[in-house]
């Protein structure tokens, strides 16, 4: 039991944060989260998350990922083109504005900074290429989100309900993602020998900070969440289908491009997974009145981890045969 909790402590932490905040009868936990939001807590936390993630990236491995241009292009097309197209297609369903905004936020996100890289390696893929895709797409997201998100809202007629300042969004993402990410990589390059224990502590600190972001977001959205349990079940099905579509696109792309084992894994996992912290920071700052959007972001992250964890096990066993 303890070994299981140790392995899946982050998932358990997400569930604990969500449960304690939503079901606290005194509302003290949510009040504290709303206070943290009022003093720009999410901004400070997200800056630290990407600073630590930048330090944890290996510059040499990032550079070595440049060698597989075909896989890089395939992963980027999945992340920046296929995901928004799928979201636009799903938007024709009778879905509420809050759910749609959450789905759009998920769709325009870059790939994960850590879990996708780990799963790529565990499934027998090239973690160096996964690192390169992770860094590149997170840097590109500074500009792609400001273009793609308004287009999705425009295509579905939601611009009347939601007004976006694209330049302000670019500035925010550059300040809270691109700057700390590159600063962390620069600091890592300046330090020749990094203690592995320090890397482990920073990795754990990053995950704890993500839990703090989720807590602040859930606190803000609690009034909406309390009356949205049926909606949460529907959202779970929606994001499950969305993630399966992304995985299917990844498998299809690698097969079409004749990518075998060792190359396809980074495209499949990095192409399908989406970063959670940035989606939450945008929801909290841009769409605080749409609490359902937060449910979409968190449930997509949880479900994608479970599905991809199962997939890693299957691909790992297949590799061992």
- What is the C-alpha separation between 309 and 243, in angstroms, rounded? 13
69 exposed, middle or buried (CB, 10 Å; 0-12, 13-18, 19+)?
A: exposed
- CA angle 252–75–189, rounded 5-degree value: 150
Residue 106 has pLDDT above 80, yes or no: yes
- Average pLDDT (10-14) is 76
Assign 87 a pLDDT band (cuts: 50, 70, 90): very high
Q: What are phi and psi of 156, to 5 degrees?
A: -105, 5
| pLDDT value of position 217 | 74
More confident position, 267 or 312: 267
> DSSP characters for 22-37?
HH-TT-HHHHHHHHHH
- What is the C-alpha separation between 15 and 7, in angstroms, rounded? 15
Contact residues for 45 (Cβ-Cβ < 8 A; gap 6+): 209, 212, 213, 216
More confident position, 176 or 311: 311
More confident position, 13 or 267: 267
Specify the range with the lowest mean pLDDT, choosing from 29-33, 96-100, 118-122.
118-122
- CA angle 256–259–265, rounded 5-degree value: 115
**What percentage of residues in the chain have a pLDDT greater than 70?**
88
- Cβ–Cβ < 8 Å for 273, 112: yes
Residue 248 has pLDDT above 80, yes or no: yes
**Among 27-36, 120-129, 131-140, 288-297, the range of highest mean pLDDT:** 27-36
- What is the C-alpha separation between 265 and 123, in angstroms, rounded? 7
**Which parts of the chain fold into alpha helices (H)?**
2-7, 9-23, 28-38, 41-56, 59-64, 69-77, 83-90, 97-108, 115-122, 127-155, 166-173, 179-190, 196-225, 229-256, 264-272, 276-286, 291-320
Q: Within a 13 Å sphere around the CA of 212, how many CA atoms are in the beta-carbon half?
A: 19
Tokens representing 175 are 């300040």
CATH architecture group of domain 28-310: Up-down Bundle (1.20)
- Cβ–Cβ < 8 Å for 50, 185: no
**What percentage of residues in the chain have a pLDDT greater than 90?**
23
Domain locations along the chain: 28-310
Tokens representing 56 are 């944890």
Q: What are phi and psi of 195, to 5 degrees?
A: -65, 125
- What is the C-alpha separation between 127 and 33, in angstroms, rounded? 36
| pLDDT value of position 4 | 60
| pLDDT value of position 160 | 46
Residue 221 has pLDDT above 80, yes or no: no
Contact residues for 248 (Cβ-Cβ < 8 A; gap 6+): none
Specify the range with the lowest mean pLDDT, choosing from 19-28, 86-95, 116-125, 267-276.
116-125
Assign 175 a pLDDT band (cuts: 50, 70, 90): confident
Assign 260 a pLDDT band (cuts: 50, 70, 90): confident
| pLDDT value of position 272 | 94
- What is the C-alpha separation between 302 and 314, in angstroms, rounded? 19
């Amino acid at each position: 039991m303890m070994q299981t909790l140790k392995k899946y402590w982050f998932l358990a932490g997400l569930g604990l944060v969500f449960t304690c905040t939503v079901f606290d009868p005194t509302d003290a936990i949510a009040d504290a989260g709303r206070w943290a939001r009022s003093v720009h807590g999410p901004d400070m936390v997200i800056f630290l998350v990407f600073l630590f993630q930048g330090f944890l990236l290996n510059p040499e491995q990032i550079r070595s990922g440049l060698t597989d241009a075909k896989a890089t292009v395939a992963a980027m097309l999945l992340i920046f083109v296929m995901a928004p197209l799928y979201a636009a297609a799903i938007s024709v369903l009778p879905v509420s504005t809050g759910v749609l905004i959450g789905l759009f936020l998920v769709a325009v996100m870059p790939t994960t900074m850590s879990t996708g890289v780990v799963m790529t390696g565990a499934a027998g893929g090239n973690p160096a290429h996964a690192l390169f895709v992770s860094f590149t797409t997170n840097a590109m997201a500074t500009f792609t989100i400001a273009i793609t998100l308004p287009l999705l809202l425009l295509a579905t007629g939601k611009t009347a309900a939601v007004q976006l300042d694209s330049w302000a969004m670019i500035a925010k993402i550059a300040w809270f993602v691109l700057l700390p990410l590159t600063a962390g990589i620069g600091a890592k390059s300046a330090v020749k020998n990094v203690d592995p224990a320090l890397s482990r502590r920073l990795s754990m600190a990053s995950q704890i900070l993500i839990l703090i972001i989720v807590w602040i977001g859930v606190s803000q959205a609690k009034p909406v969440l309390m009356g949205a349990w049926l909606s949460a079940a529907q959202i779970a099905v929606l994001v499950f289908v969305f993630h399966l579509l992304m995985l299917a696109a990844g498998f299809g792309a690698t097969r079409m491009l004749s990518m075998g084992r060792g190359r396809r894994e980074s495209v499949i996992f990095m192409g399908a997974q989406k970063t959670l912290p940035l989606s939450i920071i945008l929801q909290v700052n841009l769409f605080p009145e749409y609490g359902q959007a937060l449910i979409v972001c968190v449930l997509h992250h949880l479900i994608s981890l479970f599905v991809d964890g199962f997939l890693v096990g299957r691909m790992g066993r297949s590799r061992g045969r």
